[in-house]
């Protein structure tokens, strides 16, 4: 309901990062089933649910999140709690193809000890940006935002 309410103000673009991309995709599926097709979906370094390398990727992400939490006082354990909740909520979920265009933003650099995110198997455009899973939205946030903005300005709809 909150997303539908926000959509009354103009074209709706759903964006999700990491496992949050699953939420964005699932919300788009739901909206499309109700006849409210979003303008686009943007998945930022989102690993496909159930990919075979999940344990290795999660270990690398968890290690980096814990390191960052110790380094920056403002970071809290809610990120890990949210990730665990996503895995439970989306257990067995398979994303369906969307009618709206999808952009997959891939980090150029893998996290230490992990492979790059596997390909998103559903139709999408793809852009590779500087950084890894975390730095693409930290020191490389401007480059990532510009890539998304340029794709949206190109009118993918």
Catalytic-residue membership of 133: yes
Catalytic-residue membership of 64: no
Name the active-site residue from 24, 25, 40, 45: 45
Name the active-site residue from 19, 26, 107, 147: 19
Catalytic-residue membership of 18: yes
Terminal-to-terminal C-alpha distance of the chain? 23
Name the active-site residue from 64, 114, 133, 140: 133
Catalytic-residue membership of 109: no
Rounded to whole angstroms, the Cα distance separating 74 from 13 reads: 28
Q: For the chain, how are helix, strand and coil distributed in percent, rounded to 5?
A: 40, 15, 45
Encoding tokens for residue 20?
């949050």
Q: Which residues are catalytic?
A: 18-19, 45, 133
């Amino acid at each position: 309901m909150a997303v539908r309410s926000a959509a009354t103000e103009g074209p709706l673009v759903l964006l999700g990062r990491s496992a949050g991309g699953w939420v964005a995709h699932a919300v788009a599926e739901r909206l499309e089933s109700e006849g409210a097709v979003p303008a686009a979906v943007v998945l930022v370094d989102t690993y496909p649910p159930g990919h075979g390398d999940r344990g290795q990727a999660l270990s690398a992400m968890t290690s980096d999140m814990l390191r960052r939490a110790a380094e920056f006082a403002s970071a809290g354990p809610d990120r890990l709690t949210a990730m665990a909740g996503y895995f439970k909520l989306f257990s067995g979920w398979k994303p369906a193809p969307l009618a709206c265009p999808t952009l997959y933003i891939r980090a150029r650099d893998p996290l230490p000890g992990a492979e790059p995110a596997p390909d998103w198997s559903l139709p999408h455009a793809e852009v590779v940006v500087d950084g890894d899973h975390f730095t693409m939205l930290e020191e490389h946030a401007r480059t990532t935002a510009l890539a998304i903005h340029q794709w949206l300005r190109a009118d993918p709809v």
